[in-house]
Amino acid sequence: MKNAFEVRNLNFWYGNFKALENITLDIQANRITAFIGPSGCGKSTFLRCLNRMNDIIEGSKLEGEVYLFGDNIYGNSVDVAELRRRVGMIFQQPNPFPMSIYDNVAYGPRIHGVKNKDELDEIVKRSLERAALWKEVKDKLNQSALSLSGGQQQRLCFARLLAVDPEVILMDEPCSAIDPTSTQKIEDLMYELKESYTIIIVTHNMQQAARVSDFTAFMLAEENKSATIIEYGSTESIFTNPKDKRTENYITGRFG
């Protein structure tokens, strides 16, 4: 099975605070990998290392290597914008732009140089269909995206992302700010998307990790230590037969 990411000896600092300690793991392509762990365990920080979203935080520093399909994304000649197109991101709070639904989805393609109106229309339609939102919005594409419900906004963010044709989708607690029905829709969406995309999801919700993911990494920042990966394996083995006592304590709800 092909690896989408190969992470080697990754250390990460916010200023003087060491947030991530010596992370090494492989993430398989076309699978859903979940990062779980208590608040402040560095899951989101690690996720944001995978598309260099942490670069925009002043004073952050990273050591180690992250390979995306074999190329070191922290190498010297990397085009960070292109990297972020290939490795897209869905955020905790739905964050559509304050523009029309159409313009939200067309934003990425336009940035990347698509000007032809018919082509844009086609991309917008296809992306909204893939995000299971087309039927709900097809008659109001010119309305503000902010008029949609929270769950619809999050699916719009998926459509917006799919429109730039990424290879990997990072999701930072994508369902924590939306209702259960919408969560269900987004989980269904994830099943469909993993055919064509590698998906990495950070979640607070262990049931969600158990439901949707193929692989699970349990992260933890123990007292006076930096966060790191405690245990990593197939979701089934992590949830039914954890090898580390701390993993077992967490998934059985003793802390976190």
Q: Which of residues 27-56 bind other proteins (CB under 8 A)?
A: 51, 53, 56
Give every strand in the sheet of 32-36, ordered side by side: 87-90, 168-172, 198-202, 32-36, 215-220, 228-234
**Is 134 among the residues that bind other proteins (CB under 8 A)?**
no
Confirm or reject binding of residue 242 to other proteins (CB under 8 A): no
**111 near other proteins, judged by CB under 8 A:** yes
In the structure encoding, which two tokens stand for residue 71, read together?
A: 């190329």
Q: Strand 60-68 vs strand 71-72: parallel, antiparallel, or unpaired?
A: antiparallel
**Does residue number 78 form part of the binding site for other proteins (CB under 8 A)?**
no
Which residue, chain included where needed, has tokens 């719009």?
156
Non-local (6+) Cβ contacts of 199 within 8 A are: 31, 32, 33, 168, 169, 171, 190, 193
| Binding range to other proteins, per CB under 8 A, among 19-27, 143-151, 178-186, 236-244 | 143-151
Find the binder of other proteins among 3, 60, 72, 95 (CB under 8 A). 95
Please tell me whether residue 82 binds other proteins under the rule CB under 8 A: yes
Contacting other proteins (CB under 8 A), which of 1, 58, 139, 224? 58
Complex with other proteins: residue 11 or 144, whichever CB lies closer: 144
CB of 95 or CB of 249, closer to other proteins: 95
- CB 129 to other proteins: min, Å: 19
Looking at the Cβ atoms of 161 and 212, the one nearer to other proteins is: 161
Q: Is 160 in the site for other proteins (CB under 8 A)?
A: yes
CB of 247 to other proteins, least distance (A): 30
Work out which of 30, 146, 205, 256 binds other proteins, going by CB under 8 A: 146
CA dist 250 and 256 (Å) reads: 6
Q: Residues near 221 by Cβ (< 8 Å), separated by ≥ 6?
A: 40, 41, 42, 227, 228
Question: Of 23-31, 77-85, 173-181, 227-235, which part binds other proteins (CB under 8 A)?
Answer: 77-85
Tokens linked to 95: 């964050």
The CA-atom distances, in angstroms, between 121 and each of 49, 115, 128, 144, 163 are 33, 10, 11, 17, 11
Paired sense of beta strands 168-172 and 87-90, if any: parallel
Q: Closer to other proteins by CB, 177 or 211: give it.
A: 177
How far from the centroid of its chain's Cα atoms is residue 127's Cα? 18
What's the chain's Rg over C-alpha atoms?
18
- The count of residues interacting with other proteins (CB under 8 A) is 31
Least separation in angstroms between residue 103's CB and other proteins is: 10
Which helix (H) or strand (E) element contains residue 208?
helix 206-212
**Residue 149 makes contact with other proteins by CB under 8 A:** no
Which residues contact other proteins by CB under 8 A? 51, 53, 56, 58, 81-86, 88-89, 91, 93, 95-99, 107-108, 110-112, 144, 146-147, 157, 160-161, 164
